[in-house]
Amino acid sequence: MRRSRLVLSLTLTAVVGSGLVAADVARDEPYLSVTLPVLRDPLAQQKLHAMTDPVQDWAESGDPAAAGYAGTVIDASNQHADLYWKGEAPARVRSLLDAHADTGYTVEVHPSPHSRAEMRAAIDRFTGAVARDAWTSIGPQEDGSAIVITYAQAKAARLTGGDATELAYSRRAAEIAGMPVTAGVGEVPVALSGGRHSDGVPYYAGAEVSTAKASFCSTAFSGWRGGTKVVLTAAHCGGGRYYNGTGSYIGDLSSVGDGLDVGMIAVNGNGGGRFYDGAWSDGGGSSRHTYGIGRNNVGDLICLSGAQSGWKCDVQVKRVDVETTNDEGTKIRPVDVAESKGGDRRAIAAKGDSGGPALANPSGTNGDMEARGVMVAARSEVGCPSGSTAHPTTCYSQVMYVPMTPVVNQMGFSLS
């Protein structure tokens, strides 16, 4: 049987609880109803990725013929994607798209003034030339028209000499980067460490953990690093020993990704290959399987599962391949940025959700989902709806998560 949970009164500094730990075996449970984005075709996002991912794979292969790639934007609701390319797109782009074409789905290739590689070079020029507190996040625009920078208004004078307007900042930043800049005020991202329920073998994503540093964080996906069984979390949650919500020892932090703010907890017990998909207070432990690892594109619809605030869907990717530094001084690159769909500034995460999973592409209304990333930071503070979090805490409408590709390639992680 799967572990049961007792929800007790907790504080942010002391975690007290009780629960049963199951044997090292996972058993499927009935899926509970959850809110997911409504699409004409539930598989629309998967079909669009099947068409565009091969082009991005080619662009990331290092082949000079693919150097013109700039970005991709997914519009699952309209069964359409836009792909941007500097110069004339090689014939191979269309052949890759056509090889996975699906009736009723379209991908349009647009000319772009700058390639992704040129935008990354401009970003490196800018970040290498200015003080770290002169910007809060920086990344490419998918259409290749500019790089996008956010900054804290109080620190803008470092760059502009006193004028904190977005126009003045954009002009000065463009001079330094050697490329057009779109700038806007944006707070320093906040590390989401904070506390939740019990979890045990086999470990699921979205469970509560604590350390000597953080009284509340969340776990992401379970898997392997070489021959070691591991569970992912946010590295800023702390080193050393990790405990679940009942205070039971889980394992030690065994490795940290360089610049990723993702850590691996070496655990004595198997991962369940599942994630919690219910509210933070769900005593039944509603869960479902993960079925693989996917790429993120602007426009993608995703879901989040943090131990503090529970299951959130109808969330949309707004930017990818972004660089930032959180309020603890941890530099993170890359992160993808997601917000509530429609821009209504709805709370989608809270302090305590750090380390929790981002997921996408359900195989059916309540089906399995693929791993997309590990939550590490948030900004745009909003009120927490009553009863929406395990403890009194702070909620946010924008989340930053580390995509799975660098976790796999740099850290040697494989999904269980």
Residue 190 region by backbone torsions, left for phi larger than 0, else alpha for psi between -120 and 50, else beta: beta
Fold type of domain 44-112: GMP Synthetase; Chain A, domain 3 (3.30.300)
- As a whole number, the mean pLDDT across the chain is 84
Cβ neighbour number for residue 167 with a 10 Å cutoff: 10
Range 124-146 average pLDDT? 92
Contact at 8 Å (CB) between 175 and 125?
no
Least confident of 6-20, 40-54, 147-161, 382-396: 6-20
pLDDT(30) > 60: no
Tell me, rounded to whole angstroms, the distance of Cα 367 from its chain centroid.
Answer: 20
pLDDT(304) > 60: yes
Nearest by Cα to 261 from 92, 140, 376, 98: 376
User: Would you place residue 36 in the very low, low, confident or very high pLDDT band (cuts 50, 70, 90)?
Assistant: low
Tell me whether the omega of the peptide bond preceding residue 334 falls within 30 degrees of 0, making it cis: yes
Cα–Cα–Cα angle for 302, 308, 310, nearest 5°?
A: 40
Q: For 56-99, what is each residue's pLDDT tens digit?
A: 999 999 999 999 999 999 998 899 999 999 999 999 999 999 99
Least confident of 166-180, 278-292, 367-381: 278-292
pLDDT given for residue 330 in this prediction:
84
Least confident of 109-123, 143-157, 393-407: 143-157
Q: Would you state the structure tokens that stand for residue 384, as one six-digit string?
A: 């927490």
pLDDT(179) > 90: yes
Contact at 8 Å (CB) between 20 and 3?
yes
Contact at 8 Å (CB) between 137 and 187?
no
Whole-number Å distance between alpha carbons of 330 and 190? 10
**pLDDT > 90: percent of the chain:** 51
pLDDT given for residue 335 in this prediction:
95
Residue 378 pairs in a beta bridge with 190, 399
Q: Would you state the structure tokens that stand for residue 335, as one six-digit string?
A: 């992160």
pLDDT given for residue 365 in this prediction:
62
Whole-number Å distance between alpha carbons of 91 and 97? 10
User: Would you place residue 227 in the very low, low, confident or very high pLDDT band (cuts 50, 70, 90)?
Assistant: confident
pLDDT given for residue 202 in this prediction:
83
Q: What is the phi/psi pair of residue 231, to 5°?
A: -125, 135
What is the rounded end-to-end Cα distance, in angstroms, of the chain?
Answer: 20
Contact at 8 Å (CB) between 52 and 81?
yes
Q: Would you state the structure tokens that stand for residue 376, as one six-digit string?
A: 């590490």
User: Would you place residue 147 in the very low, low, confident or very high pLDDT band (cuts 50, 70, 90)?
Assistant: very high
Range 307-334 average pLDDT? 90
Range 356-384 average pLDDT? 87
DSSP-assigned letter for residue 114: S
CATH number among 3.30.70.20, 3.40.50.170, 3.30.70.380, 2.40.10.10, domain 191-415:
2.40.10.10
pLDDT given for residue 185 in this prediction:
87
DSSP-assigned letter for residue 76: G
Q: Give every CB contact of residue 176 below 8 A, 6+ residues apart in sequence.
A: 125, 126, 129, 130
pLDDT given for residue 65 in this prediction:
95
Q: What is the phi/psi pair of residue 132, to 5°?
A: -60, -35
pTM for the full predicted model: 0.81
Fold type of domain 116-185: GMP Synthetase; Chain A, domain 3 (3.30.300)
Range 267-290 average pLDDT? 81
Local structure of 203: helix, strand or coil: strand
Residue 364: Cβ-neighbour burial (10 angstroms; 0-12, 13-18, 19+)? exposed
Taking each helix axis as running N to C, give the angle between helix 91-99 and helix 44-59, from 0 to 180 degrees, rounded to the nearest 10: 150
Q: For 345-359, what is each residue's pLDDT tens digit?
A: 889 999 999 999 999
Whole-number Å distance between alpha carbons of 351 and 391? 10
Cβ neighbour number for residue 53 with a 10 Å cutoff: 16
pLDDT given for residue 38 in this prediction:
59
DSSP-assigned letter for residue 31: P
Q: Would you state the structure tokens that stand for residue 249, as one six-digit string?
A: 């020892």
pLDDT(199) > 60: yes
Nearest by Cα to 189 from 396, 18, 361, 45: 396
Q: Which has more pLDDT, 270 or 371?
A: 371
**Where in the chain is CATH 3.30.300?**
44-112, 116-185
Q: What is the phi/psi pair of residue 181, to 5°?
A: -125, 135
**Where in the chain is CATH 2.40.10.10?**
191-415
pLDDT given for residue 126 in this prediction:
93
Q: Which has more pLDDT, 144 or 272?
A: 144
CA dihedral sign of residues 350, 356, 360, 364: negative
User: Would you place residue 156 in the very low, low, confident or very high pLDDT band (cuts 50, 70, 90)?
Assistant: confident
User: Would you place residue 363 in the very low, low, confident or very high pLDDT band (cuts 50, 70, 90)?
Assistant: low
pLDDT(372) > 90: yes
